[in-house]
Amino acid sequence: MKKYSIYLLFMGLFFMQCSKKTTDGMVDKGTEVVKNAANDLSWRSGAPSPGEARAIQLGKANSFDLSNGLKVIVVENHKIPRVSYQLSLNNDQILEKDQVGFVSVAGSLMGTGTKTKSKAEIDSAVDFIGARLNTTGNGVFASGLKKHSQKLLEVMTDVLYNPSFPEEEFKKIKTQTLSGLSQISSNADAMAGNVAAVLNYGTDHPYGEIQTEDDVNNMTIDNIKSYYNTYFRPNNAYLIIVGDVTLAEAKADAEKYFSSWKSGEIPAVDYKAPAPVKGTNVAFANKDGAVQSVIKVTYPVDLKPGASDLVQARVMNNILGGGVFSGRLMQNLREDKAYTYGSRSSLSANSLIGNFSAGASVRNAVTDSSVHEILYEMDRLTKEPVSADDLQLVKNSMAGSFARSLESPQTIARFARNTYKFNLPADYYETYLQKLDAVTIGDVQAMAKKYIRPENANIVVAGYKDEVADKLARFDSDGVVDFYDPFGKKLDVQQSAMPDGVDAKSVISDYIDAIGGMDKVKAVKTMVSKYKADIMGQSAGMETGQQDNKMFYMEMSMGGNIMQEQRFDGVQAKVGQMGQNQTITEGPEIESMKEQANAFGQLLYLTENSPYKMELKGIEDVNGAKAYKVQITKASGDKSYEFYDVKSNLLIRSMITQEVPGGAPQSITTEIADYKSVSGVMIPHKVTILGAMPFPLEMIAESIVINENIPAAKFKTN
């Protein structure tokens, strides 16, 4: 930003100097010149008319085929001494069935070892020459200085031909994948995306397969090897070489490093096209306590790359809500209504099946209003011709984006690959600006009528069910909102009927009985809990202590040093970070520590004249288990939620929404598991916190001690 600001300053000075020189010259020539120039300002009365669109002279992409079927595309760019090699598979996405995600895992695993090199040795070889090497389930990418291209190709082809798929690395990748999946339930965008994929494509289509923990646990090395051996074949791939290389050099390198690659038969796939959406279907994924809703109005469309009306369709979508700020959705929901920071739409082309999606993230209170406005703008586009100004603005923006993309030689290579892959006309991209310039108001309305279907759409919302869901029923054709879990599985709400005689108080009472009974729980006077956790590869510890339900302390340490601390003596608190401490005597921090001083806060819920109000909100699915959902409301009005397993009566999840300085409120979910008896009381020994960090924070109990003396210094606040 500093460089950019300095550049603007110099530009401003430059234009000021130009203006001064021009004016000085005119004055030197006499007032008549100035007068004549002042009187002849007719050219300023309107914007210049656009010139006729011209064909684009794209950089030349050469191509050739090896005898094994590998298609090689070469784009020369001698501005800098670098060369990149992009090897991409050509097959359509495959069904992964009960191992969804294994293709991605296979790609990650390819780069972790060969028959002669470990992952560390591969990384060292690449780093030594200042290069990059990435592997995916769809190919391999390598980039580096031209002078090291031979060494880079040696490593790249070793990874391509000789992956060892090490078991240890496989287990690591599975663990990382499972860690990421555990965050889905706290990510409304991911939840909405999963539900939309299932509804648009169905689970028997590769685009509708959603990865779950079962899929990851089902994955096998044998299946990964089978995928690699089947699809990583030269007759199923493109090799794109871009950079400081001549066609002759590229041919020599391709022959040397890729001609020995053996071709093979590639299985043909044929997927049934997803059925068009009939009517409007409202689907809801619940995220307890969320203060915002993620909205997606979406459905599949039959739109292929290179379709004769693709340019017209994209112009239409950009007017609605594509990549320009002037899009109607943005102007309506953001500029006019202030419902959201941004609202956009997309219309994607795909060789199997495309899709349309329009949406936004909005406040709970305006979720239903936002859905109405999105549908309104979609409908308006089909019925009202757009203005000439709106059309020209979008065409100008798209032309500028296209022109900027041509600055990258990778763009030229991608255009060449697409031309081969999708059998496009040879001049498809060269005539792009002419096709864009030819789009008319009538074309836009025709495209809207063809591709925009507000009356036949999946309306997917991820957010807080209790505050939002009921208001959305009016948008559903049959007036019923369907509910889904975070992974797109439809929930049978009929199975969640409340048993007779169950209320919030009975749920909490049953929990107290389940962990040992009222007498044993009340007999707990002190409790010290020590947990360990891994934070980005660093071992961390957390120790908490409570005494007499009045005093509390917490210490977070790393490398044996206390990094953060909280101490509460029943009256005042001391909080500190990295040795910087402050004393607190009132405010929300004190109230929070009073709550944490209780080893079992549920006892407070059951006391006479309790400051907490309890309400049983129903039965919900929690990681495959049915759980009672209890809403806890403080005297301040703040709400939290606790989930108690219907079978065991144990607390298995809690959820709060907390304010974040300078940001939107944040939902924090805590998964609670692995109960073990400590002095006759069942205490959870595994706690996983979701939403507080970009990754799950898993804490495992090292020791929990009840009714042993706690040194007074632990609670000292001065």
3-state helix, strand, coil in the chain (%, to 5): 40, 30, 35
Query: Alpha-carbon distance 428 to 399, whole Å?
Result: 15
Residues 596 and 471 placed together within one structural domain of the fold: no
Q: Is the pLDDT of residue 367 over 50?
A: yes
Q: Is the pLDDT of residue 249 over 80?
A: yes
3-class DSSP assignment, residue 42: helix
Residues 517 and 442 placed together within one structural domain of the fold: no
- Residues across the chain: 718
What band does 8 get if pLDDT is binned at 50, 70 and 90? very low
Tell me, yes or no, whether 266 lies in a domain: no
Structure tokens that stand for 68 in this block: 């094994």
Q: What is the CATH number of the domain that holds 228?
A: 3.30.830.10
pLDDT of amino acid 576: 87
Tell me, yes or no, whether 658 lies in a domain: yes
Amino acid found at 118? S
% pLDDT > 90, the chain: 74
Structure tokens that stand for 691 in this block: 């939403």
For the chain, the straight-line distance linking the first and the last C-alpha, in angstroms and rounded, comes to 45
Q: Is the pLDDT of residue 410 over 90?
A: no
Tell me, yes or no, whether 40 lies in a domain: no
Residue 668 CA to chain centroid, in angstroms?
Answer: 18
627 closest CA partner among 599, 595, 655, 656: 655
**pLDDT tens per residue across span 572-606:** 999 988 778 899 998 888 888 898 999 999 999 99
Q: Is the pLDDT of residue 653 over 60?
A: yes
Please list, in sequence order, all residues whose beta carbon lies within 8 angstroms of the beta carbon of residue 137, skipping any fewer than 6 positions away: 103, 104, 105, 106, 107, 227
pLDDT of amino acid 207: 97
Query: Alpha-carbon distance 575 to 573, whole Å?
Result: 7
Q: Is the pLDDT of residue 219 over 70?
A: yes
Side-chain half-sphere exposure of 234, counting CA atoms within 13 A: 19
Q: Is the pLDDT of residue 694 over 60?
A: yes
333 DSSP 8-state letter: I
Q: Is the pLDDT of residue 123 over 50?
A: yes
85 closest CA partner among 143, 6, 24, 23: 143
Tell me, yes or no, whether 271 lies in a domain: no
Q: Is the pLDDT of residue 33 over 90?
A: no
What band does 691 get if pLDDT is binned at 50, 70 and 90? confident
Backbone angle region of 281, left / alpha / beta, with phi > 0 → left and psi within -120 to 50 → alpha:
beta
What is the chain's mean pLDDT, rounded?
89
Query: Alpha-carbon distance 123 to 111, whole Å?
Result: 9
3-class DSSP assignment, residue 100: coil
For 507-541, what is the HEC assignment? Answer: HHHHHHHHCCCHHHHHCCCEEEEEEEEEECCEEEE
Residue 708 phi, psi dihedral angles, 5° rounding: -115, 150
Residues 566 and 462 placed together within one structural domain of the fold: no
Residue 669 phi, psi dihedral angles, 5° rounding: -110, 135
Tell me, yes or no, whether 43 lies in a domain: no
CB 295 within 8 A of CB 360: yes
% pLDDT > 70, the chain: 90
According to DSSP, the residues that pair with 168 across neighbouring strands are none
For 435-470, what is the HEC assignment? Answer: HHHCCCHHHHHHHHHHHCCCCCEEEEEEECHHHHHH
Query: Alpha-carbon distance 47 to 244, whole Å?
Result: 42
Task: Kindly provide the b/e burial profile for residues 6-38, where b requires at least 16 CB atoms within 10 angstroms of the residue's own CB.
Answer: eeeeeeeeeeeeeeeeeeeebeeeeeeeeeeee
pLDDT of amino acid 46: 55
Tell me, yes or no, whether 5 lies in a domain: no
Question: How large is the greatest C-alpha to C-alpha distance in the chain, in angstroms?
Answer: 104
pLDDT of amino acid 703: 96
Residues 694 and 652 placed together within one structural domain of the fold: yes
According to DSSP, the residues that pair with 285 across neighbouring strands are 462, 484
Residues 484 and 516 placed together within one structural domain of the fold: no
Q: What is the CATH number of the domain that holds 531?
A: 2.50.20.10
Structure tokens that stand for 629 in this block: 């959902």
Residue with tokens 């306590």: 289
Query: Alpha-carbon distance 678 to 688, whole Å?
Result: 20
Neighbouring C-beta atoms of residue 579, cutoff 10 Å: 9
Residues 246 and 333 placed together within one structural domain of the fold: no
483 closest CA partner among 473, 493, 496, 475: 493
pLDDT of amino acid 635: 86
651-658 vs 639-645, strand pairing mode: antiparallel
Tell me, yes or no, whether 496 lies in a domain: no
Strands (E), 319-393: 343-348, 354-363
Residues 362 and 440 placed together within one structural domain of the fold: yes
pLDDT of amino acid 12: 32
Query: Alpha-carbon distance 22 to 29, whole Å?
Result: 11
**Using alpha carbons only, what angle is made at residue 517 by residues 516 and 522, rounded to the nearest 5 degrees?**
100
Residues 464 and 525 placed together within one structural domain of the fold: no
Query: Alpha-carbon distance 151 to 143, whole Å?
Result: 11
Query: Alpha-carbon distance 181 to 486, whole Å?
Result: 10
pLDDT of amino acid 297: 98
Which contacts (CB < 8 Å, 24+ apart) does range 373-376 have?
A: 373/329, 373/332, 373/333, 373/337, 373/339, 374/295, 374/297, 374/329, 374/333, 374/343, 375/297, 375/454, 375/457, 375/475, 376/332
What band does 624 get if pLDDT is binned at 50, 70 and 90? confident
pLDDT of amino acid 53: 57
**With the CA atoms of 7, 12, 17 and 22 taken in that order, what torsion angle do they form, in degrees rounded to the nearest 10?**
130
What band does 494 get if pLDDT is binned at 50, 70 and 90? low
Q: Tally helices (H) and strands (E) across the chain.
A: 22, 25
**pLDDT tens per residue across span 34-59:** 444 445 555 455 555 555 555 555 66
Residues 549 and 460 placed together within one structural domain of the fold: no
Strand order in the sheet with 139-145: 61-65, 71-76, 237-243, 82-89, 139-145, 132-136
Range among 303-317, 536-550, 655-669 rated most confident? 303-317
Query: Alpha-carbon distance 382 to 179, whole Å?
Result: 44
DSSP string of 173-188? HHHHHHHHHTTGGG-H
Higher pLDDT, 159 or 661: 159
Residues 548 and 626 placed together within one structural domain of the fold: yes
Neighbouring C-beta atoms of residue 492, cutoff 10 Å: 9
What band does 11 get if pLDDT is binned at 50, 70 and 90? very low
Residues 66 and 212 placed together within one structural domain of the fold: yes
CB 169 within 8 A of CB 122: no
What total number of domains does the chain contain?
A: 3
pLDDT of amino acid 183: 85
DSSP string of 635-678? TTS-EEEEEEETTT--EEEEEEEE--TTS--EEEEEEEEEEEEE
Tell me, yes or no, whether 18 lies in a domain: no
Query: Alpha-carbon distance 111 to 107, whole Å?
Result: 7
CB 573 within 8 A of CB 494: no
pLDDT of amino acid 326: 87
CB 540 within 8 A of CB 558: yes
Q: Provide the domain limits for residue 103.
A: 61-187+201-258
CB 611 within 8 A of CB 634: yes
CB 552 within 8 A of CB 593: yes
3-class DSSP assignment, residue 210: coil
Q: Where are the alpha helices (H) located in 116-246, listed in sequence order?
A: 119-128, 149-161, 167-181, 188-201, 213-218, 221-231
Residues 483 and 577 placed together within one structural domain of the fold: no
Question: What is the average pLDDT across 291-320?
Answer: 96
Domain final residue, candidates 491, 514, 545: 491
